[in-house]
Amino acid sequence: MRRPILALLAVVVTLTASAQGRRGRRNSDAYLDDLANQGMTWPIAPTFADDVFVFARLRHEFGGGFGYGRRESWMEDYPLADVMLSFRLHQITSLAVRPGPAPIEIDKDELAKHPFVYLAGVERLALQERERAALRDYLLNGGFMMVDNFWGDSAWENFRAEMRRILPGKEPVELPIDHPIFHCVYDFKSKPQMPTAGVYSSFGIFYDPGRDYGVMTHDPHYFAVYDEKGRMMVIICHNNHFGDGWEHEGDDPVYFHTISEGMAYPMFINILFYAMAH
């Protein structure tokens, strides 16, 4: 699964603002219907239809804990974040990318199609045992998962408890800033933190207020879960909201340059490159 991606993942080290004017619409369905008119879809050669990178977002249910009320939290930022990320990867890298969103079930057959999957909104994550088993097999057999969009101590404890059920005996390890994942393509001097767009525009801060930060603090935390051979299977981006950095890139120039261009897209490219290279 990795060879085609490694062969194609040569990146340009600066983003352009050519799509900055594509403002994030709240009516996502209308936005998706209009993709062809915005230059955000592109042809895929039929011969290689199954040999391109697909940004696969995991659907999941929610249970107890601190979180999003009755909303299905996997849909946070969906589908616009997925559309924009796929577009940017197509635009600024030589990676062959399938346009548009690709939500998938946590299912053995679905997971097997994707070497890289994205799991977001995990504050109240509550998987079924068959889903835990499918994810366990996927990760131990070479898959990679990025976890995003959750804040504070309660959310962390809920997610860590779920991860212990998925991968018993494998605890997350916090990554220091000198880890190669922060430097492999774009060079970060400090750990990037993607704020929720509304919070940033209203208060100019990089963390979600009103959360319980007594133990973990509101700083960004990046954790990894490794297999027995030391391969990173999971990267956990705690106190972060990458999805907003993609979804809201067109909200205003300051947000675009500071968050989207400055951190959200570059750090995702680092994560993707590192995962595919290891």
CA distances from residue 224 to 51, 147, 157, 219, 237 in whole angstroms, order as listed: 27, 10, 15, 17, 9
Phi-psi region of 104 (alpha: psi -120 to 50; beta: other; left: phi over 0): beta
Collect all residues with Cβ–Cβ distance below 8 Å to 185 and sequence separation of at least 6.
11, 13, 266, 269, 270, 273
Q: What is the CA radius of gyration of the chain?
A: 18
Which pLDDT belongs to residue 53? 97
| Residue 104, H or E segment | strand 102-104
Which pLDDT belongs to residue 1? 42
What the block records as the tokens of 135 is 């994810």
Cα 61 → chain centroid: 18
Which pLDDT belongs to residue 69? 41
Which pLDDT belongs to residue 19? 43
Residue ranges of the domains in the chain? 2-12+27-277
Which pLDDT belongs to residue 61? 79
The arrangement of strands across the sheet holding 144-148 comes to: 102-104, 56-58, 116-120, 144-148, 232-238, 221-226, 173-174
Half-sphere exposure of 158 (CA within 13 A, CB side): 20
Which pLDDT belongs to residue 48? 86
Q: Which of 62, 111, 52 is nearest to 86 (CA)?
A: 52
Q: Check: CATH 3.40.50.740 for 2-12+27-277?
A: no
Q: Cα separation of 28 and 30, whole Å?
A: 5
Counting Cβ atoms within 10 Å, is residue 97 exposed (0-12), middle (13-18) or buried (19+)? Answer: buried
Residues of the chain with pLDDT under 70: 1-38, 63-72
